Amino acid sequence: MKNKEVLSGILGGSFFAASFLAVGIPIIPSIVVGAFAFLGSELVMSKTQFVVFDKIDEKNAEQVLNDAKNKNKYILDMVPKIDDEVVQRYLRSINSTTAKIISTVSKNKNKIKQTQKFWTYYLPITVGIVQKYDEIENQRLSSKDAKDFFEKSRETLEEIDKSFKKILNNLYESDIENATADMKVLNTILKSDGFSELNTKEDNNE
């Protein structure tokens, strides 16, 4: 396992770069995302309740998936402990999407490398953010810094929710393309044999 501080710094920098350069999020929110990534990584890796994986492949897929289930259960279990209804909604959505990702990869383990960053970075850091949010919320702080923290937490969880849904969609992208191609071929054969009156998009555009 890599040095904790170095890995946390890499994760924080990676999240900032991905947010600001790749996704186009403004620099201030991107810095916030990077800071949360660093903080979450430090928190997660300082605890022993979850595993942090350096490398993921089909050989340790079962271990990775079982650990992901534990992380996802933790996210769901935290929902009733959080007071903010907006955060609760994001956590439920994140939990639901994560469960679908786990189920999809469980059925087709060769997709686990395709989603490596999800298991090594995104999910554990999300857990870290939830842990820290709950800890600070329980202090009942009313300072401006605390209010800013809660607002930025909601914004970050919203981005996580959207990103997880994109990851799930990407898992099915090739399946959708293959199924669409199969349907096109089958329809062409049925049409040529006189069994189908359906037209493909290409036919309609002619």
Listed range (5-9, 39-43, 97-101) with the worst mean pLDDT: 5-9
One domain, residues 110 and 205: no
Which of 135, 143, 146, 158 lies closest to 46, judged by CA?
Answer: 135
Q: Please check the confidence at residue 82 and state whether its pLDDT lies above 90.
A: yes
Task: Extract the tokens encoding 188.
Answer: 């062409």
The C-alpha atoms of residue 124 and residue 115 are separated, in whole angstroms, by 13
Q: What is the pLDDT of residues 30-42, one digit of tens each?
A: 455 555 555 555 5
Task: Report percent pLDDT > 70 for the chain.
Answer: 66
One domain, residues 117 and 181: no
52 confidence band (pLDDT: 50, 70, 90): low
One domain, residues 64 and 146: yes
Q: Check residue 21 and give its pLDDT.
A: 45
Task: Extract the tokens encoding 177.
Answer: 């393309």
One domain, residues 72 and 127: yes
Name the more confident of 3 and 196. Answer: 196
Give the H/E segment covering residue 105: helix 85-107
Give the H/E segment covering residue 204: helix 201-205
Q: What is the pLDDT of residues 150-186, one digit of tens each?
A: 999 999 999 999 999 999 998 887 667 667 777 877 7
The C-alpha atoms of residue 14 and residue 6 are separated, in whole angstroms, by 12
One domain, residues 108 and 165: yes
What mean pLDDT value characterizes the chain? Answer: 76
86 confidence band (pLDDT: 50, 70, 90): very high
One domain, residues 16 and 68: yes
The C-alpha atoms of residue 76 and residue 49 are separated, in whole angstroms, by 16
Domain span at 195: 177-206
One domain, residues 184 and 142: no
One domain, residues 87 and 122: yes
One domain, residues 184 and 118: no
Is residue 160 within 8 A of residue 128, CB to CB? The reply is: no
One domain, residues 16 and 103: yes
One domain, residues 33 and 51: yes
Q: Please check the confidence at residue 2 and state whether its pLDDT lies above 50.
A: no
The structural domain count of the chain equals: 2
One domain, residues 185 and 99: no
